[in-house]
Every structure is written in C-alpha cells, then in structure tokens.
Structure 1
Amino acid sequence: MAASSAKHDVFQAIADPTRRSLLKLLSSQEMPVTAISQHFPISRTAVSKHLKVLSEAGLVKERKVGRETRYKLEPAPLFELKDWLQYFELFWENKLGALGRFLETDDADSEN
C-alpha cells in the first residue's frame, strides 16, 4: 500500500512507543489481540486502536481464524522509513567523523 493512499503513514504509526513495541512483539509471531494485550499495561480496546493505526499504515496484516483476528508484522512499509533515514545517515557520519577529528587534535594539543 502506498503511503499516500494510507490513512496513517509509516512515520505517524511508529511515532508512538506502544506501537513500536507492538511491531517488535509481532515480528516474531502472529498473535491474536487477547495474547497481544497481555504484554501491555493498557486495555484490550487501546491495543486494538493501536493495531488499527498500524494496519492502516500497512505495517500489520490481520486475518480471521474462526472468531479470532490474528495480527502479524508486515515489514515492507518500513523500507520507506529506512530509505528516508539512510539519506540522513550521511550527515551523522560526517558529524561523528568531525567530532573524532576534533577530539584527536584536542588530545594532541593537550599533550604538548
């Protein structure tokens, strides 16, 4: 699902720490809401609302098994986030490199 057609985009979806924890939990296995809820100090309704946001962003898939709805991670939309962050990684590396050079010259100056 394209981010522009989604009700919530990937960035909005992962902005919340509970939703990030949900993604981690669902990365290892498919789970029903009742089992997911046991991992959080919030109501089952609140968990369902977070799952809805993740689903609308395309980050989780749901499927019916009998009366139960099971959720699993759908990692493909995270590549949009990875690509966005990768662009800014260049700036981080440059800043860290500059800091390293500064610290090396500062150490050399203090030894003299």
Structure 2
Amino acid sequence: MNRVLISLGSNTHAEAHIPRALESLHSALAIERETAAIQTEPVDFPYPSGLFTNLLILAYTPMSQADLINLLHNIEQEAGRDRKHPELVTLDVDLIQWNDEVLKPRDMLRPYFQT
C-alpha cells in the first residue's frame, strides 16, 4: 500500500465541491486522517480571489502514482474545473506526498499545513 498526502482547495462554491470530492476519495482510498477545512488567503495566486477553503487527507492506496493522479484530475473535472478560467478554482486536488517522496514541497509551507 502506498501512503499519500492529498490537498483539496476551492475558491468557488467550496461548500458543494469539497464534500463531493471527499465522497469520491473515501470510496477510492483508505483514509487514515482528514483535517478540518479552513479558509485561507490566496497564496501565489495571480488573480483576484476571495478566500480559499483547504484541507488535507492522509490515505493509503494500492494504486500506482499515475493512476492516483488520473483519479484526482477526474475528481477536479467532475467538479467543473476549467483550466481556461484559472481564476475560478472549483476544485484543486493535488498529490503532495507519495510514500516518503514530497512531490510539492512549496505547498507544505502553506497555512493549511500548519494546522
């Protein structure tokens, strides 16, 4: 089993998108821990935006890294993520850590990692 750390974020209708994404993740992964959702100011985001809602999930999966990333992208698409309109983040689901390998070290400096 692979141990994974996943972040979820939204600045557009988070109250609808994040619970649906969590349902999908709970059905696909063995969730060990889930942080409470918190609202944060945008970080390194070049567009006018309100607050982001963010949370983290620690989980286990037998999937390959590529298959998991594909699943995360599908969950984003189901939430209506449109990369042609990057200012509207309906849902951003990122694989931050794969086993002992940190894939997105800069993300680990963000406020929702400090909770």
User: Of the two structures, which has the highest relative contact order with CA contacts closer than 8 Å and spacing of 6 or more?
Assistant: 2
More strand by share: 2
Radius of gyration: which is bigger? 1
Same fold (TM over 0.5): no
TM-score, length of structure 2 as denominator length: 0.29
